[in-house]
């Protein structure tokens, strides 16, 4: 599956590779920490590319990792919706609405799996050979509920902005990935980005085909010697540099 990953590539490089709108405004950088991230974890805001309106531009968005369906009464469900199974995502109540019209690319350049042997757990980093960033197939949602976890009391009846969240779709691990775990994130082929992102694309059969592991995906894996500490206490600077 995919419960931790990296994004070390600068935003300007990502903008070129994934062809999304990005104006290098100082405001944007000061509002969001978009520096190198070695240990992206669920509940954090993650970088995604989406097309909101049919025919519209590809836009960068920062989405809460852990999808909260529009009908959720609170955000508790998010811990179980950091991933969505590719074989059932079109029909599961929590995901099917997003699957129809709100697909996105989750930007990454590596993801971790932990190899367990007895009591010890060791992190391994999967990357695409060459180290270039890749796009994981994702869905996003907008939630207008009120029982937020980060209750910053809005007091005056001010309408809070909706909480935008996302999930990463998983599929069966390919031979390399299955050395450590049974499932892996869906990594999209660049030629499939357009069809995946188009909100008007309702061809369920085609969408299902896009999220099967593509032939020729050239992954590498290596142990990471420095322990991957919890992001909350150690920040992102805890992975051995490449």
Residues that bind DNA (CB under 7 A): 1, 3-4, 41-44, 70-73, 77, 79-85, 88-89, 92-95, 114, 116, 121, 149, 170, 181-183, 227-233
CB nearer to DNA: give 60 or 239. Answer: 239
CB nearer to DNA: give 11 or 78. Answer: 78
* Exposed/middle/buried for residue 207 (C-beta within 10 Å: 0-12, 13-18, 19+): buried
CB nearer to DNA: give 79 or 202. Answer: 79
As measured in angstroms, the least distance from the Cβ of 170 to DNA is 3
As measured in angstroms, the least distance from the Cβ of 82 to DNA is 6
User: Which sequence positions are flagged as catalytic?
Assistant: 2, 113
Instruction: Name the token pair of 218.
Output: 């050239």
Contacts 24+ apart (CB under 8 A), 174-181: 174/213, 174/217, 174/219, 176/126, 176/219, 176/220, 176/221, 177/113, 177/126, 177/219, 177/221, 179/221, 180/113, 180/114, 180/115, 180/124, 180/221, 181/1, 181/113
As measured in angstroms, the least distance from the Cβ of 190 to DNA is 23
């Amino acid at each position: 599956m995919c419960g931790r990953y990296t994004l070390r590539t600068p935003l300007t490089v990502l903008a070129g590779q994934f062809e999304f709108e990005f104006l290098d405004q100082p405001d944007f950088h000061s509002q969001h920490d978009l520096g190198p991230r070695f240990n992206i974890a669920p509940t954090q805001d993650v970088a995604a590319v989406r097309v909101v309106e049919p025919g519209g531009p590809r836009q960068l968005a920062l989405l809460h990792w852990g999808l909260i369906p529009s009908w959720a009464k609170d955000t508790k469900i998010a811990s179980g919706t950091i991933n969505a199974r590719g074989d059932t995502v079109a029909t599961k109540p929590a995901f099917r609405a997003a699957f129809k019209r709100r697909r996105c690319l989750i930007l990454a350049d590596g993801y971790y799996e932990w190899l367990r042997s007895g009591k010890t757990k060791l992190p391994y980093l999967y990357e695409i050979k060459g180290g270039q960033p890749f796009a994981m197939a994702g869905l996003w949602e907008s939630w207008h509920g009120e029982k937020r976890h980060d209750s910053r009391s809005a007091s005056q009846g001010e309408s809070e902005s909706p909480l935008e969240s996302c999930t990463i779709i998983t599929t069966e691990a390919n031979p390399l990935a299955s050395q450590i775990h049974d499932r892996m994130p869906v990594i999209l082929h660049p030629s499939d980005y357009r069809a995946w992102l188009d909100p008007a694309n309702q061809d369920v059969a085609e969408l299902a085909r896009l999220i099967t592991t593509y032939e020729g995906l050239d992954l590498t894996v290596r142990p990471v010697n420095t322990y991957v500490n919890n992001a909350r206490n150690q920040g992102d600077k805890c992975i051995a540099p490449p």
